[in-house]
Amino acid sequence: MRTLARARYVRVSARKARLVLDQIRGKPVSEALATLRFTPRAAARLVEKVLRSAVANAENNHQVRNLDDLHVVGAIADGGPSMKRVSPRAMGRAFFIRHPTSHLTIAVSDEVGAGARPGMGRPRRPGGQTRGVAKTTPAVPSERD
């Protein structure tokens, strides 16, 4: 059974949270918690709370009994609204300070081969193309050669 946990308006930038989420995606929950415990980033503590919440949701809401079978099948960090503050500076100027927030979503599942559904990872381009890479055809030798 696939179980979600979300933390919204978390005071960490989505870019920094993605660095931590990339380390735990696809791992068993026990290994992911051990990884987060020894990751020296502030976002690791926040991600650990959301992961523990997802495990508790699986246990209480979906009656998952064997917690050793749970795997992290989806982990994303979306950007939230920035909190805007003003800092006074010299000669009557004012500088804007932006405190970014993010929305963390972690999905755990006990099913074997339960891959991430659409919307639980990075968006894919149609046809597997990447931006800025043109498809080229192999050079055909001309008759002059």
Residues 22-50 pLDDT 10s? 999 999 999 999 999 999 999 999 999 99
Query: Which residues contact residue 61 at a Cβ distance below 8 angstroms, ignoring those fewer than 6 apart?
Result: 3
The answer to whether the CB of 35 falls within 8 A of the CB of 22 is no
Report how far residue 22's alpha carbon sits from residue 43's, in angstroms, rounded to the nearest whole number: 12
* SS3 call for 112: coil
CATH number assigned to the domain covering 2-114: 3.90.470.10
Render pLDDT for 80-123 as a digit per residue (tens, 0 to 9): 999 999 999 999 999 999 999 999 999 999 886 665 554 455 55
The model's pLDDT over 62-88, given as tens digits with 9 standing for 90+, comes to 888 888 889 999 999 999 999 999 999
Q: Which pLDDT value is given to residue 137?
A: 61
* Average pLDDT in the chain: 85
Can you list the alpha helix ranges (DSSP code H) found in 62-136?
none
First-to-last C-alpha distance (Å) of the chain: 63
Structure confidence at residue 117 (pLDDT): 52
Q: Say which amino acid occupies 64.
A: V
pLDDT band at 51 (very low <50, low <70, confident <90, very high): very high
Predicted local confidence at residue 114, as pLDDT:
60
* Domain residue extents for the chain: 2-114
Q: Please state, in angstroms and rounded to a whole number, the distance separating the CA atoms of residues 140 and 134.
A: 18
The three-point CA angle 78-100-71 to 5° equals 35
For residue 118, what pLDDT is reported? 45
For helices 42-61 and 29-37, the axis angle rounded to 10 degrees is 150
Please give the pLDDT value at position 82: 95
Q: In whole angstroms, what is the distance from residue 89 CA to residue 70 CA? A: 52
